[in-house]
Amino acid sequence: MKPVFLRASLAILIIASYAASAATPKWYEYYRLSKTYVEAQQWDVAIELLKKAIAERPQSSRKVRVGFLRWTSYYPYLDLGMAYLALGKFDEAQSYCSQAQSEGITPLERVNDCLVQIDSSSLKSEHVRSLSPYPPEIPEFPWPPPKASAQATVPTNLLVRSGRPTLLKDVAKRLEDGLLYAGYEENSYFYIPRGFALVTRVEQFYPDGRSKEGAKRWADTLPPQTSFSLASYLKALFTAEKGYYRIIVFLVTSVPVRQSSQEISRDDANAWLNRGANMLPPSIGSLQFSKDHTCVALVYEFEQMSRDHEPAFKSPSLILGRMHLQQSRIWEGLERLARQG
Q: 325, 274, 285, 233: which is closest to 142 by C-alpha? A: 274
CA dihedral of residues 266, 268, 270, 272 (deg, nearest 10) = -130
- What are the pLDDT digits (tens) for 102-146? 888 999 888 888 887 877 666 555 544 444 444 446 788 888 888
**Phi, psi for residue 149 in degrees, rounded to 5:** -75, -35
* Residue 157's pLDDT band (cuts 50, 70, 90): very high
| Range scoring the smallest mean pLDDT among 78-87, 275-284, 314-323 | 275-284
Q: 136, 141, 244, 122: which is closest to 187 by C-alpha? A: 141
- What are the pLDDT digits (tens) for 285-301? 988 898 889 999 999 99
Which stretches of 70-167 are DSSP H helices?
A: 76-86, 90-103, 108-130
Q: Give me the amino acid identity at 315.
A: S
Find the mean pLDDT for residues 209-213. Answer: 93
* Residue 278's pLDDT band (cuts 50, 70, 90): confident
- Distance, CA of 236 to CA of 298 (rounded, Å): 21
> Is pLDDT of 34 > 90?
yes
Eight-state DSSP code of residue 170: H
Give residue 202's pLDDT: 81
Q: Bigger pLDDT: 167 or 216?
A: 167
Query: Domains of the chain, with CATH numbers?
Result: 18-129 (1.25.40.10), 150-340 (no CATH)
Q: Label residues 60-90 b or e (16+ Cβ within 10 Å = b).
A: bbeebebeeeeeeebbbbbbbbbbbbbeebb
| Sign of the alpha-carbon torsion through 297, 234, 275, 333 | positive
Which stretches of 219-295 are DSSP H helices?
A: 230-237, 266-269, 282-285
Q: Are 234 and 223 in contact (CB under 8 A)?
A: no
- What are the pLDDT digits (tens) for 43-72? 899 999 999 999 999 999 999 988 777 889
> Is pLDDT of 81 > 80?
yes
- What are the pLDDT digits (tens) for 161-203? 877 789 999 999 999 999 999 999 888 898 888 899 998 888 8
